[in-house]
Amino acid sequence: MRILITGATGLVGSEIVRLCHEQNIGVNYLTTNKNKIVSKSNYQGFYWNPDAQEIDLNCFKGVSAIINLAGASISKRWTPNHKKIVLSSRIDTLRTLKKGVSQIDSSAITSFVSASAIGIYPDSLSNFYTEDEKNVDDSFLGEVVEAWENEVDAFQIFDFNICKIRIGLVMSANGGALPEIAKPIKQYAGAAFGSGKQWQSWVHITDLARQFLYLIEHQLDGVYNGVGPNPITNAKLVKEIAVVLQKRLFLPNVPKFAMKILLGEMSYILFASQRVSSKKIEEEGFVFHFQNICQALEDIYGKENEEKKFLLKNKQEHIS
**179-199 pLDDT tens trace:** 999 999 999 999 999 999 999
**11-37 pLDDT tens trace:** 999 999 999 999 999 999 999 999 889
Band (309; pLDDT cuts 50, 70, 90): low
Q: Look at 74-83, 116-125, 154-163 and tell me which has the smallest mean pLDDT.
A: 74-83
The pLDDT score that the predictor gives to residue 303 is 64
Band (310; pLDDT cuts 50, 70, 90): very low
> Which residue ranges make up each domain of the chain?
2-303
The pLDDT score that the predictor gives to residue 36 is 87
Band (319; pLDDT cuts 50, 70, 90): low
User: Quick check: pTM over 0.75?
Assistant: yes
CATH architecture for residues 2-303: 3-Layer(aba) Sandwich (3.40)
Instruction: Calculate ∠ Cα 77-83-86, nearest 5°.
Output: 100
Band (312; pLDDT cuts 50, 70, 90): very low
Does residue 209 have a pLDDT over 90?
Answer: yes
Does residue 249 have a pLDDT over 90?
Answer: yes
